[in-house]
Amino acid sequence: MTVETDFIVIGSGIAGLRAALELAAAGARVTVLTKERASESNTEYAQGGVAVALSEDDEVSLHEDDTLSAGAGLCDEEAVRVLVEDGRRYMQELIEWGAEFDREGGELLFTQEAAHSRRRILHAGGDATGHEIVRSLLARSGQQVRIQFVTHAATERLLVEDGHCRGVLYLDPLVRARRELRAWAVVLASGGTGQLYLHTTNPAVATGDGMAMAYGAGAELADMEFVQFHPTALNVADAPRFLLSEAMRGEGGVLRNEDGRRFMPRYHERAELAPRDIVSRSIVAEMERTATRTVYLDMTALAARYLRRRFPKIYDTCLRYGLDITREPVPVSPAAHYIMGGVRTDLDGRTTLPGLYAAGEVACTGVHGANRLASNSLLEGLVFGARAGRAIVADAARQPRATGGTTPAAVAAVASVTDDEETTASGEIVLAVRKRVRRLMWERVGILRSRQSLERALREFDQIAGAKLRAPSRNFLTVATLIARAALWREESRGAHHRVDFPKTDDTNWRVHSIQREGAEISGSETVDFESAESPALT
């Protein structure tokens, strides 16, 4: 039998949960598929906070200007305006729903981060902002009987019929069989691509599957060359690349080299508060200059009591590895953190594939341009997750469908779909493929790029593609290839994309977005958003 729900949401981070809540509020049945437990997402690990112009000395126009400046000339201005204006409304709503952000004297406490002209960053639990947001949204979702979660269910493919996305193929965790789930529309909120790199701050679920599935189904992707590397990830042997929040530098932390000398003022006038791409490249340059593999983040000028209260999770994690941030500088180096590119959408989450919507890091609205402004990602997921949900409700109302089918509780009973790839590819081959791709991405498609390094990576990706791969590994390789191709195509340096053979920014020829579609050459577009008199889902 065929099991149906009204709408499918892939991913349970801030974008997916907010979209699901919007859909359920309209009376729809929503099935949320998650690769791991419901709370496991990039949102859960977000420390830095949420940027929003809510303080008395701030204005949305200033937040807009800061975002445009960080985006290195490639932000879509209308998308940025939507982000900063709608962000105020949706953040206030989130607070009303029970999200508890840090306060001082009963008033919201705003902090400073790099490239922001005002103290506009809201935190929760000092450095546990993402955890608190997920907690509050999951609590809200739990009150909605029309939202069903199917956890540990890896989505492998989008189902497309007559040019419309009509559902998904996913792996049932209980019986290890593939299942079909059908719906009127699918929302991709599957997160980013950090795990494609050898060193990353992202959790294990950030493998780019949503982008690969959208590409394979015929949707367009944009700006895949722009990958942001966070400057300060913990750099200790046998320790994960734990993120040391941007807020640490915003609160007065300084970067020092192996000799204990502060070096950022030599690289940029804003020193440690320069945009992330500049800080990351400066760290790489300083490590090369000093022939070392690390630099140090020094917080010791701040009071120990304040640091323990302001950064409790970071303090405890560093202590676990024998480092006391109140007494000694902490070894750090850059790590892959966020991708500005993704599935091309309009301002309401509609993709170029009818029936498919996207929000959050998997999507590319043009908000971030070539380099995301710190702490704008959570706000983007909240705003565009809600907007995608609203758009789906409006689109469905203009093209109603029968709502028959089984109840969401019957999802696990759908007939399995066989696939010989699952039984023929060994776990050892899968592990070897991922290990090789991750190292190539770090060494050849990383912070510093060149034609030679990118072409070499692509040649090796082509060789790997000739093997018989399971769907997750095929998706993994597809996204790596898309990033490398876009990086080779863009013959300039802009934002997070730096070509050592084209070190200058070229506005005359390259102030365009890269657009990729399966079976077509990469093309340039002045906007990420695409023109549509009506919803693409109705064409």
Position 420 pLDDT exceeds 80:
no
Mean pLDDT of 412-440: 62
Q: What's the pLDDT band for 47 if we cut at 50, 70, 90?
A: low
pLDDT for the residue 414: 37
Of 23 and 313, the structure prediction assigns the larger pLDDT to: 23
216: closest CA among 143, 264, 157? 157
Is residue 407 predicted with pLDDT exceeding 80?
A: no
Residues noted as catalytic = 276
Specify the amino acid at residue 32: V
Give me the pLDDT at residue 3, please: 75
Computed over every residue of the chain, the mean pLDDT equals: 90
Residue 399: pLDDT above 90? no
Domains in the chain: ranges and CATH = 7-224+340-417 (3.50.50.60), 234-333 (3.90.700.10), 422-504 (1.20.58.100)
pLDDT above 90: residue 240: no
Q: Residue 322 CB: number of other CB atoms within 10 A? A: 9
Look at residue 113 in the predicted model and tell me its pLDDT. 82
Amino acid sitting at position 279: V
Mean pLDDT of 53-71: 95
Q: Among residues 182, 239, 72, which one has the least CA distance to residue 406?
A: 182
State how beta strands 185-188 and 7-10 pair.
parallel
> What's the confidence (pLDDT) of residue 43?
61
Burial class (CB in 10 A: 0-12, 13-18, 19+), 399: exposed
Whether the Cβ atoms of residue 48 and residue 64 lie closer than 8 Å to each other: no
pLDDT-based confidence at 403, cuts 50/70/90? very low
- The residues with which 33 forms a beta bridge, in sequence order, are 10, 150
| pLDDT band at residue 529 using 50, 70 and 90 as cut-offs | confident
Q: Are 469 and 427 in contact (CB under 8 A)?
A: no
Helix (H, G, I), strand (E, B) or coil at 200: strand
Q: Are the C-beta atoms of 82 and 347 separated by less than 8 Å?
A: yes
- Report the predicted TM-score, pTM, of the whole model to 2 decimal places: 0.91
**pLDDT of 45 higher than 90:** no
